[in-house]
């Protein structure tokens, strides 16, 4: 069964590329610039906390770099451990970057950087009421997905694995269930992917886009790795839309095994 392709939109905004790229940990601004260009990403994530920590001069230079790329910015609340802290950071980010978009992170566990589901729902509801368009970083929990949608979110960003772990898809079964549970909601796998094959696997499950940072930024050649991920994302999505064959327990011959064998030399003698 094939699935008809449909354009991707986030809060009514058309999105051409299904690759969202983070901007932290690159060896140099030039590596970041070339990685974004070779990825084809039209959206990059930016941490207000990280840029603020770099000082006004560094922050201004970074912002000029991002503006020069001509991409859309998705600010995030990375590093926030409470709903109150995340809301405050989001309000500052809206002033700085001039967008209602916010990637909402409320961290509940320092070892795994697992999101706090209670703080996440609380912050999402408040930010939505203040006109934000929220992209929540979440686990693959179905109940949490429902609560975030009730809070006003129209995009969900479940993790593949803990941030920066490079483990890939820890629970493909849960991700597949989530995709089936909210078939009409844009879903972006965010965090934990370490190889292009991980991204392709997520897209083959029917996910709409991929957001990653560490696997590209810390690669030996970040621009080349960004291009590799872009190709994998495209391949995975194309495969999903084409209709991936079902797995079987036993062999299914690809050529007929019934009838008499045929030889092109039959009857010609020696």
Candidate list 6, 57, 88, 103, residue with the active-site label: 103
Query: Rounded to an integer, what distance in angstroms lies between the CA atom of residue 116 and that of residue 119?
Result: 5
Q: Is 119 marked as binding a ligand?
A: no
Q: CA dihedral in degrees (218, 220, 222, 223; nearest 10)?
A: 180
Instruction: Let me know how long the chain is.
Output: 270
**192 labelled as ligand-binding?**
yes
Backbone conformation region of residue 33, classed left if phi is above 0, alpha if psi is from -120 to 50, else beta: alpha
Known binding residue 79? Answer is: no
238 is in an annotated binding site: no
Question: How far is residue 245 from each of residues 2, 126, 170, 241, 254, measured CA to CA in Å?
Answer: 10, 43, 23, 12, 13
Determine whether the annotation assigns residue 170 to a binding site: no
Q: How many CB atoms lie within 10 A of CB 254?
A: 6
Query: Going by C-beta distance under 8 Å and a sequence separation of 6 or more, which residues neighbour residue 243?
Result: 1, 2, 3
Known active-site residue 176: no
The binding site for 1-deoxy-D-xylulose 5-phosphate consists of 164, 191-192, 213-214
For the annotated catalytic residues, the residue numbers are: 103
The binding site consists of 164, 191-192, 213-214
């Amino acid at each position: 069964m094939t699935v008809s392709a449909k354009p991707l939109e986030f809060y009514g905004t058309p999105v051409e590329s299904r690759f969202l790229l983070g901007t932290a940990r690159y060896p140099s601004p030039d590596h970041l610039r070339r990685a974004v260009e070779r990825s084809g990403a039209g959206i990059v994530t930016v941490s207000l906390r990280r840029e603020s920590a770099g000082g006004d001069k560094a922050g201004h230079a970074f912002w000029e770099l991002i503006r020069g790329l001509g991409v859309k910015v998705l600010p995030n609340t990375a590093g926030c451990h409470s709903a109150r802290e995340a809301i405050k950071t989001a309000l500052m980010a809206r002033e700085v970057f001039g967008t209602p978009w916010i990637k909402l992170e409320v961290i509940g566990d320092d070892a795994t950087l697992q999101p706090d589901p209670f703080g996440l729902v609380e912050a999402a509801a408040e930010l939505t009421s203040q006109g934000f368009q929220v992209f929540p970083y979440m686990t693959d929990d179905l109940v949490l997905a429902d609560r975030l949608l009730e809070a006003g979110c129209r995009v969900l960003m479940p993790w593949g694995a803990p941030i920066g772990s490079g483990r890939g898809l820890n629970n493909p079964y849960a991700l597949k269930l989530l995709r089936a549970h909210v078939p009409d909601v844009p879903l972006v796998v965010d965090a934990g992917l370490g190889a292009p094959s991980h991204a392709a696997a997520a897209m083959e499950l029917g996910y709409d886009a991929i957001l990653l940072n560490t696997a590209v930024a810390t690669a030996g050649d970040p621009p080349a790795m960004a291009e590799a991920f872009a190709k994998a994302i495209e391949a995975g999505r194309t495969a999903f839309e084409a209709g991936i064959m079902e797995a079987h327990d036993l062999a299914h011959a690809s050529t007929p095994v019934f009838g008499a064998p045929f030889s092109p030399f039959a009857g010609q003698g020696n």
